[in-house]
Amino acid sequence: MPNAGAMQPFIYQPPATEPLPVLFADDSLIVLDKPAGLLSVPGRLEDHRDSLLTRCLIDFPDAQVVHRLDLATSGVLVMARGLEANRALSRQFQQRSVAKAYTAVVEGRPEMAQGEVDLPLICDWPNRPRQIMDFEVGKPSQTRWFRMDDGEDWPGIESTRLRLEPITGRSHQLRVHMAEIGHAILGDSFYATPAGQAVASRLLLHASRLSLRHPLSGDPLTFEAPCPF
């Protein structure tokens, strides 16, 4: 008898991006609006080779990865053009001088208008890519959140729109942190309740804004992508 609790095999069905969703491009960087359901970079398996990077390389052969978004997350993603720009941009991410803001719709209604989550995270290896909270060996992880409304109407569930600002950049950080404080992101197949998973056809998490400095000139830049939900 099949195990009813076993995770279903992942079937990769990437969405179309024609034309390529470029928000900005110059000789040093490319800024894209990644759709949900598309890998940021190619996966290990042959049928997971399609990705935002793969598609970007067609128009920008010198594109290089600087950071990533989860498969299920949409929004602003930056790529470097050339080694010098890659080094400069990567340094900004490593030094946490890049400001990122996400829009999310979560289960329930937080009592406070804002808050901060400080919970260490580590990969749950037997169930990867899931992440778990672990105070002994987890890596420090912090997220600020801000309530954007007093409640949204999603069928059959109380929900709230939040702005999330990650201080650190751990895998699944925003998703785990929201679930751990009782407000999992709607449509999250890993961390939401069954009702929270069923109410949305996609993860309601979008990288809405990203601010950094130009890798060559040092000028401050801010990029935004409209939230699709």
Catalytic residue among 26, 59, 70, 219: 70
Q: What phi and psi, each to the nearest 5 degrees, are found at residue 77?
A: -140, 135
Residue 6 is predicted with a pLDDT of: 41
Residue 8 is predicted with a pLDDT of: 53
CA-CA distance, 75 to 33, in Å (whole number)? 5
The contacts of residue 64 (CB under 8 Å, 6+ apart) are 79, 80, 81, 82, 83, 85, 86
Residue 91 is predicted with a pLDDT of: 98
Q: What domains are there in the chain, each with its CATH number? A: 22-224 (3.30.2350.10)
Contact 20, 56 (CB under 8 A): yes
Residue 194 is predicted with a pLDDT of: 96
DSSP 99-145: EEEEEEEEES--SSSEEEEE--EEE-GGGTT-EEE-TTTPBP-EEEE
Question: Which contiguous run of DSSP H or E holds residue 160?
Answer: strand 157-166
For residue 193, the number of C-alpha atoms closer than 13 Å in the C-beta half-sphere is: 13
Question: Across the 229 residues of the chain, what is the mean pLDDT of every consecutive 10-residue run?
Answer: 45 89 98 97 91 97 97 98 97 96 97 97 94 96 95 87 97 98 97 96 97 97 97
70: annotated active-site residue: yes
